[in-house]
Amino acid sequence: MGKRAFITGVNGQDGGHLAKLLHDKGYEVYGMMRGQLEASHPRAQKFLTEFPYVKLVFADLVDLSAMTRAIQEIKPDEVYNLAAISHVGYSFKDPILTAEVTGKGVTNVLEAIRLSGLDKKTKFYQASTSEMYGGLDYNRPGKGYNENALFHPRSPYGVAKLYGYWITRNYRESYGIYAVSGILFNHEGERRGPEFVTRKISQAVARIKLGKQDKLELGNMDAKRDWGYAGDYVEGMWLMLQQDTPDDYVLATGETHSIRDFCELAFKEIGVDLEWQGSGVNEKGVDKKSGKTLITINPDYFRPAEVDLLLGDPSKAEKELGWKRKIDFPALVKLMVEYDLGLESN
């Protein structure tokens, strides 16, 4: 019989990519959805249309009893904890719930494994994040953050994720559970939600091209991110659970680009050359040829504290896991704009 995997947050961007990868590898895939849903609910039905092989489990990360029941029933070989409140900006608005779900929820999954007596069988992957670094470790200028860089989270989300990182490490060191963190830098693609900046841009570009939208409003244009393709990153998650000894790994591209860079490449895909005019909140992205304003700044999208620059150093994962990203930055932007052009044309 194949291995069993249990994915929390299966309905999110990475959940879909990972479910497919594991199914293709012969796993029996269980996916968790939250709340009072049933398999007949439209959201569950929509998910099952795309991923009919996933066995849905209805439970909530904040409910230890539900998590324990789920783990006891499934007896998974591998658990991938992807569920979280994952939007950094939103976490400032709902910091307590973020702590409960994104932070304490990790302990519930680990406890569920331990209480079920599966600590020697079940391997655990925690979706840790580059947001834990916060972009403030000036000891590593230009080199990129690796597994030893200083953490200084800059949002309730980052703080909650840091708790998740340490409790995962603590269960590994205390109970010998095969529990690891993947410290993943931003990863995007066609499954990304439109509340994140890359998908917001690719959707807007497609809609502007098709005459469905006039312009795009953005927040901080100066932030820089290390952006890879989510499909490449789920392979790294799986590899982290296939090693002789559990350890934590950074997955990143080793390149960083600004929001402006992303906009320029995305608009180029529809034949528009952008020119930047003005500065600060008055900055505008203008179509060089027509003079039409396509991008303006809306301070509502600014965050109380910002992570200015993220750049990852994936050399440990490349050396020890044999992992390497396949899709580079221009290919990622192209893939997303092309996908949204197809979607918006229908």
Instruction: Transcribe 94-116 into DSSP letters.
Output: SHHHHIIIIIIHHHHHHHHHHHT
Active site residue 256: no
Nearest CB to ligand G4F, comparing residues 186 and 256: 186
Out of 11, 68, 86, 253, the residue judged to bind ligand G4F by CB under 6 A? 86
Q: Is 131 a catalytic residue?
A: yes
Stretch near ligand G4F under the rule CB under 6 A, chosen from 14-22, 212-220, 241-249, 322-330: 212-220
| Strands, E assignment, 20-100 | 28-33, 55-58, 78-81
Catalytic residue, chosen from 68, 102, 129, 253, is 129
* DSSP 8-class letter at 83: -
What's the count of helices (H) and strands (E) in the chain, helices before strands? 12, 15
Q: Is 258 exposed, middle or buried (CB count within 10 Å of its CB: 0-12, 13-18, 19+)?
A: middle
Of the residues 130, 146, 202, 253, which one makes contact with ligand G4F according to CB under 6 A: 130
Using CB under 6 A as the binding rule, whether residue 197 contacts ligand G4F is answered as: yes
- Exactly one of 29, 33, 59, 88 binds ligand G4F (CB under 6 A); that residue is 88
Of the listed 27, 30, 157, 339, which one is catalytic? 157
92 near ligand G4F (CB under 6 A): no
Task: Provide the token pair at 197.
Answer: 């900046």
Contact stretch for ligand G4F (CB under 6 A) within 39-47, 129-137, 229-237, 316-324: 129-137
* Minimum gap (Å) between residue 10 Cβ and ligand G4F: 16
Min. distance of Cβ 17 from ligand G4F in angstroms?
Answer: 14
Q: Quick one: which of 27, 125, 185, 249 contacts ligand G4F (CB under 6 A)?
A: 185
Own/partner long-range contacts of 2-5 (Cβ < 8 Å, ≥24 apart)? 2/26, 2/27, 2/28, 3/27, 3/28, 3/77, 3/78, 4/28, 4/29, 4/30, 4/74, 4/75, 4/76, 4/77, 4/78, 5/29, 5/30, 5/76, 5/77, 5/78, 5/79, 5/80
Nearest 5 degrees, angle CA 21-CA 233-CA 327?
A: 100
Q: How many other C-beta atoms lie within 10 A of the C-beta of residue 35? A: 9
Q: Would residue 133 show up in a list of annotated catalytic residues for this protein?
A: no
Q: Is 129 in the site for ligand G4F (CB under 6 A)?
A: yes
Shortest spacing between CB 297 and ligand G4F, in angstroms: 8
Applying CB under 6 A, which part among 23-31, 84-92, 138-146, 280-288 lies near ligand G4F?
Answer: 84-92
303 touches ligand G4F by CB under 6 A: yes
Q: Which of 149, 162, 259, 311 binds ligand G4F (CB under 6 A)?
A: 259
Amino acid, single-letter form, for residue 34: R
Sheet holding 216-218, edge to edge: 216-218, 293-297, 284-287, 274-277
**Binding residue for ligand G4F, selected from 41, 152, 219, 258, defined by CB under 6 A:** 219
Contact positions vs ligand G4F (CB under 6 A): 86, 88-89, 129-131, 185-186, 195-197, 200, 218-220, 223, 225, 259, 301, 303, 306, 310
